[in-house]
Amino acid sequence: MKAVVWQGTNKVGVERVPDPTLILQTDAIVRVTSTAICGSDLHLLDGFIPGMERGDIVGHEFMGEIVEVGRDVRNVKVGDRVVVPFNLACGVCDPCRRGLFSACDNSNPAPNARTVEALYGAMSPGGLFGYTHMFGGYAGGQAQFVRVPFADVGCFKIESDLRDEQVLFLTDIFPTGYQAAEQCGIVPGRDVVAVFGAGPVGQFAARSALMLGAAHVIVIDRVPERLGMAEAAGCQVINYEKEDVLLALRDATGGRGPDHVIDGVGLEAHGHGPGALLDTAEQKMRMSFDRITAVRWAILSCAKGGTVSMPGVYAGLVDKFPLGAAFGKGLTFRLGQTHTHRYVLPLLDRIQSGQIDPSFVITHRASLDEAPELYKTFRDKHDGCVKVVLDPWGQPGEVQKV
């Protein structure tokens, strides 16, 4: 089959690889009908996430049709059309039973989990599709077929006639943006929410904050097309290259600061100031994995007693972290991978009832063969690129811009 393969830092390619097979009786094989490139794939491309191996099949936003199931699979069958969360969850361990699916005890295989424990000081979170071997190194879904372990827990049937593009983002960015907004504990009609980063997760976080009743939502970025997309949803926007973002946020909130701030950026934040310069220098020298401008701004702008919610991905140790400000204002931090499984069905309901059509975020469509080119377009934010959807069975050729 064809698959997008990590070939080293700044290199992904489309290669012919063997078709996946059932390895355990709880596995399913899915024929992928649509897959997407995620912002967190860019961290792999740039080599900022350790633990990748040449030849790894990437991609963790995918959906398709089940073509084979193991003997012990009960909840889904061959022919079912399914979406598959980007994280793997066993469904039986204590965190899974509490709905903390991304904290699954068992889905990261033992030797990989031990490596993570050495870094994190406690038990490993769950495995991830198409990501670093720290989290299992499970083959990903930017491919024509994919093996889905824990199929009973990880395959969600789509029975309505919604198009792929309307439900595909239930696998990651819609739940990720939604969880980021939900865990702010927004008081409807009262709370003001700021979202750093108008990429795909930021777009869903902003729309989710509005759905959850935020009185006002402010989105911060520097890319005009992305800010335009947020404006179209009814958000105020701030271009941090044109305005002092901390002053602009104070002005927009009567001097209080936003009640909650969402960091939809993660470890490759751009930005100004000595902190941002030092972050970049350290990251270039591989002394640090993370550039944390977005978190710094989030903490400094947030209102007293507010929430800093962080769906953005971070990898390692950071310094020059304004802990004193966070303490002084009594902030609450909410962070971590999305418990995707918890949100698929409730958010599917919102799509079916017409509250949101997630396909708004798509700017580029192409066949899988165009993946290497589009990784770079997406990374460089060229051509107005916000979200890329790939058809693994499409004919190689033109990229279709929406």
Partner 1 sequence: MTADLSPNSPSPRPYRQHSTESLLSPTERGVMGVLGLAALTLSLRGGALERLLLGAVGVGLAGMAATGTNPLATALKIRQNEEGDTLVSDAITVGKSPEDLYAVWRNLTNLPLLMRHLKSVEVLDERRSRWTVPGPVGDVSWEAELTADEPGRRIAWQSLPGAAVENSGEVLFRPAPGDRGTEIRVNLAYRAPGGTTGAVIARLTGQEPSQQLRDDLLRFKREQELGYYPTTEGQSSGRAAKGGQQ
Q: Choose which of 79, 111, 121, 354 interacts with partner 1 (CB under 8 A).
A: 111
User: Are 359 and 165 spatial neighbours (Cβ–Cβ below 8 Å)?
Assistant: yes
Considering beta carbons, is residue 348 or 368 the nearer one to partner 1?
A: 368
Q: Is 330 in the site for partner 1 (CB under 8 A)?
A: no
If binding means CB under 8 A, how many residues of this protein chain bind partner 1? 45
What's the closest the beta carbon of residue 55 comes to partner 1, in angstroms? 3
Opening angle at CA 88, ends 157 and 268, nearest 5: 110
Query: How far is the C-alpha of 399 from the C-alpha of 279, rounded, in Å?
Result: 35
What's the closest the beta carbon of residue 131 comes to partner 1, in angstroms? 12
* Contact region with partner 1 (CB under 8 A), list: 74-82, 101-109, 259-267, 375-383: 101-109
What's the closest the beta carbon of residue 87 comes to partner 1, in angstroms? 13
Q: Tokens for 355, please give them.
A: 């509250």
Q: Over the Cα atoms of the chain, what is R_g?
A: 20
Query: How far is the C-alpha of 385 from the C-alpha of 379, rounded, in Å?
Result: 9
Closest by alpha carbon to 84, among 179, 157, 176, 181?
Answer: 157
Secondary-structure percent of the chain, ordered helix, strand, coil, rounded to 5: 35, 20, 45
Opening angle at CA 360, ends 357 and 361, nearest 5: 125
Considering beta carbons, is residue 56 or 279 the nearer one to partner 1?
A: 56
Q: Is 373 in the site for partner 1 (CB under 8 A)?
A: no
* Contact region with partner 1 (CB under 8 A), list: 11-19, 60-68, 312-320, 390-398: 11-19
Binding mask 21-50 for partner 1 (x = CB under 8 A): x-xxxx------------------------
Q: Choose which of 67, 93, 233, 335 interacts with partner 1 (CB under 8 A).
A: 93
Q: Is 55 in the site for partner 1 (CB under 8 A)?
A: yes
Q: Tokens for 95, please give them.
A: 């965190």
What's the closest the beta carbon of residue 315 comes to partner 1, in angstroms? 21
Q: What DSSP line would sit under 312-371, residue for residue?
A: S---S---S--HHHHHHHT-EEEESS--HHHHHHHHHHHHHTTS--GGGG--EEEEGGGH
Per CB under 8 A, which of residues 124..163 are in contact with partner 1?
Answer: 127, 136-139, 143, 147, 149-150
User: Are 96 and 89 spatial neighbours (Cβ–Cβ below 8 Å)?
Assistant: yes
Considering beta carbons, is residue 56 or 172 the nearer one to partner 1?
A: 56
**Residues 6+ away with beta carbon under 8 Å from 277:** none
What's the closest the beta carbon of residue 40 comes to partner 1, in angstroms? 19
- Which residues are at the interface with partner 1 (CB under 8 A)? 1, 3, 5-7, 15-21, 23-26, 53-57, 88, 90, 92-94, 105-111, 113-114, 117, 127, 136-139, 143, 147, 149-150
